[in-house]
Chain A
Amino acid sequence: MAQVDAPLRRTLSDFASDPAAVVGLFLLAVILVAAIAAPLISPQNPYDLAQLDIMNSRLPPGSRSPAGETFWLGTDDQGRDMLSAIFYGLRISLTVGVASTAVALALGLALGLAAAYIGGRTETVIMRIADIQLSFPAILIALILLAVLGQGTLKIIIALVTVQWAYYARTVRSAALVEKRREYVEAARGLALPPSRIVFRHILPNCLPPVIVVATVQVAAAIALEATLSFLGLGLPITEPSLGLLIANGYQYLLSGKYWISFFPGVALLLAIVSINLVGDRLRDALNPHLAR
């Protein structure tokens, strides 16, 4: 049994040997907890209008309200506590990022596996579409889609899925093409197992490591893209303010020196992206058997 779990343990110990990755993982854990527990740890519910007081608007960080609350990161133009708004914004940004990545992953895996296993014309059509799509930058495709479809949470997820699926389809196809020729697949075919079982139980698990790495990095890319689109006014509606929308909201006050409305949501966004990238970077090295240890 010890030999069976050795690769996993080696991956973990490899991962732990890089201090930057451990810091990234720790940071990511903190961010996840803050996002999940936002309603519990936020000083106020930033979208309950009864809790907001317009008299508290645009206070600098560290100011106190007449009621005795301290706004550690200041307030926005509606008297909203920025710290609470950031916790809630993180929640929305991460939800959109993870949800769109999960859907794109499922779609990309299905199409990539189909292309590799069926081959022929199916493969040509799927991979040609992926090629054409990947020759345009993600932001351009997402902008085109949102300009045509209009705005909304569902629409931005559709846009993010459309932008991402091709990466997974390409990654899983190239892995599956290698696995398809292995002896264990031949053995499974020899046992007359149904194709769906061969694809999902035999080939898929062996294709996952590179896909996991791509997915990790893509979550960060999806969060950044959503923030950019929301900043441009094409992303999430104002009722669901992600970090990008918070930053956009502070843009107009920046020129008068009220930096905190844009600055702190940006720091939160940056920390989320950096921590995911650090973990993803290390995961790539740890899962890559070609790199010398």
Chain B
Amino acid sequence: MLVYVIRRSVQAMFVLLVMSLLVFIGVYAIGNPVDILINPQADQLEREHAIAALGLDRPMWAQYAAFLSGALHGDLGRSFVHSTSALRLILERMPATLELALAAMLIAVVLGIPLGLWAGLKPNSVAGRSIMAGSILGFSLPTFWVGLMLIMVFSVMLGWLPSNGRGPTTELLGVPVSFLSVEGWRHLIMPATNLALFKLALLIRLTRAGTREALTQDYVRFARAKGLTNLRVIGVHVLRNILIPIVTVIGLEFGSVIAFAIVTETVFAWPGMGKLLIDSINLLDRPVIVAYLLVIVTLFIFINLVVDVLYSALDPRVRLAEA
């Protein structure tokens, strides 16, 4: 187990190195680094100072080494617009994104698993068919447009919910969060639902397929033959067995929820990392873009690593196959 974790960590470090090289090539080699890293409003003297300070007159490999050592020391450049460290700017916005993503995942799990179970137990009933039709719709609906329509119905027409922002935040262990106040919930519920929609459809399909397969297995027949109640057969025998793949998918999809939050945050003006990225792209605040890319890539590699390790802990066959 320990060997597996170490080997996966080394692999993760390698991917991170490759990604940093790609980002470096993209920003420093393809684009003109002078345009990208130096404030366009700077005059000639400032430009020359900056070029020398950034080492842009040095050979490419030396520049990459400098970039890498800067990144390792947590120095990913300064934002043109906000005049603070790009990395700190992103880390400040991270809790908002994580809160939104967690709320969305919670909605998807709390609704998706029971609905999928229902559709799997009664695949030919009206309810079962409607749930499946709904999940196809959930896959097809463009997230950003659903967000707009939610705003149209609940904010403009009914006036029940605020259309943008995070509302007042409460400090929890020094981190500002929305979910501790009623007003915060009113701001959170609509973007979270919007972000949850796609994952909800996915979880419904996954749970339904798993349930249908489990129902034909011998252990379910045996449990029924023992005379167990329907509730116990489904709640203990079926649910437990379909939960392993579902837990894996939830873990893997968490990263994609964070990525898709870029869209939802833009629609609802949610002050997270994703909105920061889009704003930075529009304002050509390139140090923030580079910092975002490195942070999100690190986050992804970390999530993938955790899921892989958890999976091998849940299912010993994976470890045997790797060894």
CB distance from A115 to the nearest CB of B (A): 19
For A224, what are the chain B residues with a Cβ–Cβ distance below 8 Å? 140, 142
Task: State whether A251 and B148 are in contact (beta carbons under 8 Å apart), knowing that A147-B289, A148-B27, A277-B136 are contacts in the complex.
Answer: yes
B64 within 8 A of A: no
| Cβ of A60 under 8 Å from chain B | no
Say how far A174's CB is from chain B's closest CB, in angstroms.
17
Partner of B144 from A135, A220, A231, A277 at Cβ < 8 Å: A231
Decide if A274 touches B137 in the complex (CB within 8 Å): yes
Judging by beta carbons under 8 Å apart, are A273 and B142 in contact? Answer: yes
How many CB-defined contacts (below 8 Å) exist between A and B? 100
A255 touches B155 (CB 8 A): yes
Q: Within 8 Å of chain A (Cβ to Cβ): is B259?
A: yes
With contact pairs A132-B15, A147-B289 given, residues A247 and B278 touching in the complex (Cβ less than 8 Å): no
Q: How does the 8 Å CB contact mask read for B200-212 relative to A, with 1 for contact and 0 for none?
A: 0000000000000
Chain A residues numbered 111-148 whose CB sits less than 8 Å from any CB in chain B:
132, 135-137, 139-140, 143-144, 147-148
CA gap between A270 and B139 in the complex, in Å: 10
Main secondary structure of the interface of A (DSSP, over half): helix
Number of residues from B at the complex interface, CB < 8 A: 41
A257 CB to nearest B CB, Å:
6
**Interface window among A76-84, A100-108, A164-172, A259-267:** A259-267
Name the one of B30, B149, B256, B278 contacting A137, with C-beta atoms under 8 angstroms.
B256
Q: Can you list, as one digit per residue, whether each of B269-285 has a CB less than 8 Å from chain A (1) or not (0)?
A: 00000000110011000
14 A-B pairs within 8 Å (CB atoms) are namely A132-B15, A132-B18, A139-B260, A143-B262, A147-B277, A147-B293, A233-B282, A247-B145, A247-B148, A251-B148, A254-B148, A259-B156, A270-B145, A273-B141
Interface residues of B (CB under 8 A from A): 15, 18, 26-27, 30-31, 136-137, 139-145, 148-149, 151-152, 155-157, 163, 255-256, 259-260, 262-263, 266-267, 277-278, 281-282, 289, 293, 296-297, 300, 304
